[in-house]
Amino acid sequence: MEIPVSPPHFEPVASGERIASLDVLRGFALAGILLMNMEAFVGPVMGSYTGLDRGLSGADLFADGLVYFFVQGKFFTLFSLLFGMGFAMMVQRADAARRPFAGLYWRRSLGLLGIGLAHALLLWSGDVLVTYALLSFLLLAFRDVPATVLAWLGVACYLAAPALVMGLGLLSGWMPGWDEVMAAQGREMDAMLESQRQAYGAGSYAMTVAQRVRDFGMTLSNLMVMGAMVFGMFLLGAAFLRSGAIQQPQLHPRLYAWLRRAVLPLGLLVMLASFLLEPSMSFSVFDLRLALAQSLALVAGAMMCLGYLAWVMRGLEVPGIARWLELLAPAGRMALTNYLVQSIACTLLFYGYGLGFFEQLPRFWQVPFALGLFSVQVLYSRWWLERFRFGPAEWLWRSLTYWQLQPMRRAGAGVAPA
């Protein structure tokens, strides 16, 4: 079907209307996402779900511990928070224009679902876009909820995930045959990990697609816990934007001071408690101790994410720091494109149908590699946005959302974006 070119109900956000801090935060989150995902690009995706790898030593163990402690679980929550902010901003613009919103938002979510499915099945099975798209439909029910109520609902929804984990841990103590169930699960997970190792490390592209289909089923099976966390952050993000805390942070000094000076330090302590209890996870063992460690890590992830956000917002108020942080903005404006490019570049480099460096990059060197790749993306994003209004994936998503081909070239291309 040909996409019509009639005017949409209201236009996409123009460059001059963007909230600059959101682009910086997206760029910051994108760097953390790549650091978190590198382990799952270099080796089997499931191998990155087990926390600290006790099989490592020296610098590799140190790097793995740092990423687990400070990055894993902290940046996908930040990205989820930003997604909720984007939803609230679209609602505000639709209300200001007095235009219908539901139809446009359905197209936006369906467009993201299509992009996510293509990513998950054709590029990389560690995709999060499908989860975002499926949960985004539920956000429409909360479009008119006040910011304070959204915030409390978000906290409650997020905490449902660690509560579920703790509940399962409590059940493990008295459920008959629990050890046998976990042993069987461990064998199944070990077989899945080995299947990933064979498909992604030495298989053809057709074999990797077949493996991604199997992985996709497992992703959907984890949607209850993952979904509660993601949707909770959606609601918190919507509350942040609806309250004006992102647009006018200077009017909310107590909130940001509280996040920096209380929530982040407490989150670090909670994460430390989790780390000391049990930093690693086995697919064949799950008891109350491990449930408590995982629950604490989930709580710490949200708290540290909010603290990170508060410190970035504080940095944007300091001219010397803001100049450096603003370098992240072009990458943040092209966050979807850059997320997909990370998958393309890393799978072509590490997978068997590409250059075949699967499981050959030591854990320590994965960190500078990720930072180097992201630095290239920062530079490339700035170059691209000097010439075009959107990244390629953003252009496709917006065209599907507004059901109109968006103008791609910038007027006066070659002039740096404001």
Whole-angstrom Cα distance, residue 383 to residue 251?
A: 34
pLDDT score at 194: 95
pLDDT digits (tens, 9 = 90+) for 275-293: 999 999 988 889 999 999 9
Q: Is residue 204 assigned to a domain?
A: yes
Residue 2 has pLDDT above 90, yes or no: no
| Rounded percentage of the chain residues whose pLDDT exceeds 90 | 82
pLDDT score at 73: 94
pLDDT digits (tens, 9 = 90+) for 390-399: 999 999 999 9
Q: Is residue 146 assigned to a domain?
A: yes
Nearest residue to 283 via CA among 173, 175, 194:
194
Whole-angstrom Cα distance, residue 319 to residue 269?
A: 31
Q: Is residue 2 assigned to a domain?
A: no
pLDDT score at 415: 45
Nearest residue to 281 via CA among 269, 273, 293:
293
Residue 128 has pLDDT above 50, yes or no: yes
Q: Is residue 6 assigned to a domain?
A: no
pLDDT score at 413: 57
| Rounded percentage of the chain residues whose pLDDT exceeds 70 | 94
Mean pLDDT on 4-12: 40
Whole-angstrom Cα distance, residue 399 to residue 226?
A: 29
- pLDDT tier at 412 (50, 70, 90 boundaries)? low
- pLDDT tier at 418 (50, 70, 90 boundaries)? very low
132 neighbors 119 (Cβ within 8 angstroms): no
Nearest residue to 366 via CA among 115, 35, 84, 126:
35
pLDDT score at 363: 98
By three-state DSSP, how is residue 7 classified? coil
- pLDDT tier at 100 (50, 70, 90 boundaries)? confident
Nearest residue to 173 via CA among 295, 291, 296, 51:
291
Mean pLDDT on 202-230: 93
pLDDT score at 4: 38
Whole-angstrom Cα distance, residue 46 to residue 215?
A: 9
- pLDDT tier at 188 (50, 70, 90 boundaries)? very high
Residue 416 has pLDDT above 60, yes or no: no
**CA angle, corner 332, sides to 303 and 67, nearest 5?**
45
pLDDT score at 134: 96
pLDDT digits (tens, 9 = 90+) for 129-170: 999 999 999 999 999 999 999 999 999 999 999 999 999 999
Residue type, 411: A
Four-residue CA torsion sign, 147, 152, 153, 157: positive
Residue 127 has pLDDT above 90, yes or no: yes
Q: Is residue 411 assigned to a domain?
A: no
* Mean model confidence pLDDT for the chain: 92
Q: Is residue 338 assigned to a domain?
A: yes
**What range defines the domain where residue 104 resides?**
15-402
Nearest residue to 231 via CA among 134, 114, 88, 105:
134
Q: Is residue 197 assigned to a domain?
A: yes
pLDDT digits (tens, 9 = 90+) for 362-394: 999 999 999 999 999 999 999 999 999 999 999
- pLDDT tier at 198 (50, 70, 90 boundaries)? very high
pLDDT digits (tens, 9 = 90+) for 21-58: 999 999 999 999 999 999 999 999 998 988 999 999 99
pLDDT digits (tens, 9 = 90+) for 54-93: 999 999 999 999 999 999 999 999 999 999 999 999 998 8
Residue 174 has pLDDT above 50, yes or no: yes
Whole-angstrom Cα distance, residue 134 to residue 196?
A: 25
The total number of structural domains that make up the chain: 1
pLDDT score at 102: 87
How many Cα atoms within 13 Å fall on the side-chain side of residue 334? 26
The two tokens of residue 149 are 């109520």
pLDDT score at 218: 85
DSSP 295-344: HHHHHHHHHHHHHHHHHHHHHTTSHHHHHHHGGGHHHHHTHHHHHHHHHH
Q: Which residues of 43-61 are buried (b: 16+ CB within 10 A; e: fewer)?
A: bbbbebbbbbbeebeeebb
- pLDDT tier at 333 (50, 70, 90 boundaries)? very high
Mean pLDDT on 346-369: 98
| Neighbouring residues of 409: CB distance < 8 A, sequence distance ≥ 6 | 387, 388, 389
Q: Is residue 214 assigned to a domain?
A: yes
Mean pLDDT on 327-342: 98
pLDDT score at 172: 86
pLDDT score at 269: 98
